[in-house]
Chain A
């Protein structure tokens, strides 16, 4: 804050009186101005101003005008930051909770969504502080209850997911994921998985892909094996054998993402069998997607155990027997890639590590395998291998 130029504060007092009148105004537009000016007033004029206008500010959250509520949520975190941690109290959290529960306007919901991870942290930290305070106090500990705000969030997510906009759904998935990784997930993972699965069943292709990817990442972060397996089983049940091909497609997305994040053991145990069964799916695009990820499967698993190896071969055979030109072309390409991986065994462990650590793109990894070089060189190499792969295919068929 700069120095005040005037010898006395009388002019500043006049302005502050005016601001006081503004805070009490019945005009919605003036109230919007009150809210929008508050962060700058706190920052530049008086750091203690929040205390004076706290009640007026919090009342704006329940205003009838959606523009006012939009401005309120827009400035909220600036004000919290300026007002300091002592102002994050029950009154504020209670207002915020009501605000989230009652909001129905799409633009305000979107604004809440953009800050939902910050809001979540606010509640989460408050509860953690409460727990800490309780454990420090000598009084008898109360029985721990599940945090009530979780249900507020669940209800909010459901409301937002009904706003049928691709952009909002995409942001919703990202925010959900951010929230689940913010803490130990204990409170959120069940509802998160359930929610994501609902979204997978009910959304566009891109959303399904994003949702599946987020779910995999969230599962990896879970601490307990039981919980992980429970959710993966749920995914298997709801997606792999689903009637709708969109769900089965989502299953492939899920597995594709899992190939990057799950251990070999988990992949073998939970996913591979089901995934390879999709080679005999009745929808061509499902089979095509399976063919596309075959090299990734092979790369992630490395040496397959006998049962899975048999299953893998069987899947390739099934796909080849389709006698579909596009599938065949893709199959040759995929086998070609697998062949490339196999021929460079001396690098494989290194590559696999690098691949998993850095999540290299497949093409980059292939370049790495042939010892660096240009894409042109890679294509030449590929062409040479193409014929060899055809032979491999024939031998597999036998």
Chain B
């Protein structure tokens, strides 16, 4: 029961360390309150950081939603909290559950927008090299693909180098979900982010390879990427490669591909065949 003699800090502390699921969740629902008070955050956040990685999926998702709410609603968050949150988010993202990844990728995005890039660049390069490695479980590679798309979206050409190379590496992943995630979320933003011509060419070749992916869903998502990227592709490449590819695709009998191609046909003809 609510005890008025207990201070706010004591109440938060008692709830977050409780075995009762609802008491813990109540703290995560109030995380914006914790973040806005230095005294509270100094005590509560280290407890969260310590115990959340070993909590269950449900609790990690509740916590993720609390972090999202706090970062979205507070106009300014203390630097230490941002750093702690970053460390926690990459730790959770490496934990290999898709539902948790889908929730915590949003926390990661909110943190990446405000954190100092130089302080996290090396950590991220190491982590993404590790997560995207073929020996890692599929969820790790899935998380890596999603993290790269967030980084490309918010950091642009700063990702060129190791992180960019990991995107190229993931494009030939043997698991469909990784290639599909890459095609749906990552390829377009990474291509637009890249400024180096060599990098652009490398990625472009990978996109063209994925167009011939044996999986129809990956193929469809990549065709969509190619349509979205028409304005970013050089005239020479349009003439020499893209026009030919679209001509080939137009003879494909897959219904979803016909729908996609037919909805963009005039645009494709105009951009690819005319100058």
A and B from one assembly? yes
A positions within 8 Å CB-CB of B: 1-6, 11-12, 14-15, 17-19, 21-22, 25, 27, 29-30, 33-34, 36-37, 40-41, 44-45
B residues in contact with A33, CB < 8 Å: 259, 262-263, 265
Given contacts A30-B262, A33-B263, A40-B266, contact A14 B274 (CB under 8 A): no
Q: Give the shortest distance, in Å, between B102 (CB) and chain A (any CB).
A: 28
* Interface pick from B12-20, B182-190, B205-213, B242-250: B242-250
A residues in contact with B270, CB < 8 Å: 2, 40, 44
B residues in contact with A14, CB < 8 Å: 247, 250-251
A residues in contact with B265, CB < 8 Å: 15, 18-19, 22, 33, 37, 41
Q: CB-nearest residue of chain B relative to A17?
A: B250
Q: Give the shortest distance, in Å, between B262 (CB) and chain A (any CB).
A: 4
Q: Give the shortest distance, in Å, between B108 (CB) and chain A (any CB).
A: 36
Q: How large is the interface on B (under 10, 10 to 19, 20 to 34, 35 or more residues)?
A: 20 to 34
Q: Give the shortest distance, in Å, between A27 (CB) and chain B (any CB).
A: 7
A5 CA / B240 CA spacing, docked (Å)? 11
Given contacts A17-B250, A44-B274, 6 further A-B contacts (CB under 8 A): A15-B250, A15-B265, A21-B258, A25-B258, A25-B262, A41-B266
B residues in contact with A40, CB < 8 Å: 266-267, 270
B positions within 8 Å CB-CB of A: 235, 239, 243-244, 246-247, 250-251, 255, 258-259, 261-263, 265-270, 273-275
Q: CB-nearest residue of chain A relative to B269?
A: A15
Q: Is there contact, CB below 8 Å, between B274 and A3?
A: yes
Please give me the 5 A-B residue pairs with the lowest Cβ-Cβ distance, nearest first. Answer: A40-B266, A18-B250, A33-B262, A2-B274, A33-B263
> Main SS of the interface on chain B?
helix
Interface centre among A1, A22, A27, by most chain B C-beta atoms within 10 angstroms, is A22
Q: Is there contact, CB below 8 Å, between B269 and A45?
A: yes
Q: CB-nearest residue of chain B relative to A38?
A: B266
Q: Is there contact, CB below 8 Å, between A5 and B262?
A: no
A residues in contact with B274, CB < 8 Å: 1-5, 44
A44 CA / B267 CA spacing, docked (Å)? 10
8 contacts between A and B (CB under 8 A): A5-B239, A5-B273, A21-B258, A25-B262, A29-B259, A30-B259, A34-B262, A44-B266
A residues in contact with B251, CB < 8 Å: 14, 18
Q: Is there contact, CB below 8 Å, between B273 and A12?
A: yes
A25 CA / B269 CA spacing, docked (Å)? 20
A380 CA / B21 CA spacing, docked (Å)? 72
